[in-house]
Chains A and B, each alone.
Chain A
């Protein structure tokens, strides 16, 4: 998954509802809407390693690396509403 940092936890949460909690997410700082093509390219290049990891690492290794992240992001402990996205 490729998304901005504002949406990455949310992206993992929604991916988990589709059975993919351990999805590899390449993230870049939000927002990107107004970036010029050159700046956008730099952002994309900075994410390439993560994209390659997501496409080539064995699933067991991805799960090992993401275990803590997944635990923290999908069911934020004790939070039932938040004025800033969690």
Chain B
């Protein structure tokens, strides 16, 4: 059941300058409560270490069963100066879902 969590949660990411902006969406209240408890800003920062250089902010949006993460220093300086293939950070949302894929690894 827990292995499939990443399939039930969805996500979208975008950019503003050198910040990546990732939203996580729960299918129901219980899953939202679980995500809100487990997916802390600090865990997200650790998960993305090596890819981001700055802090991570977290915002709760319970009316949409959503969590929002803003990752600073996340885009190699920003999309238009980045050397990366995913210059816009469009796939960072799926990189965040990897955290849910193997929850027991304590990433």
Asked if A and B are interacting partners, one says: no
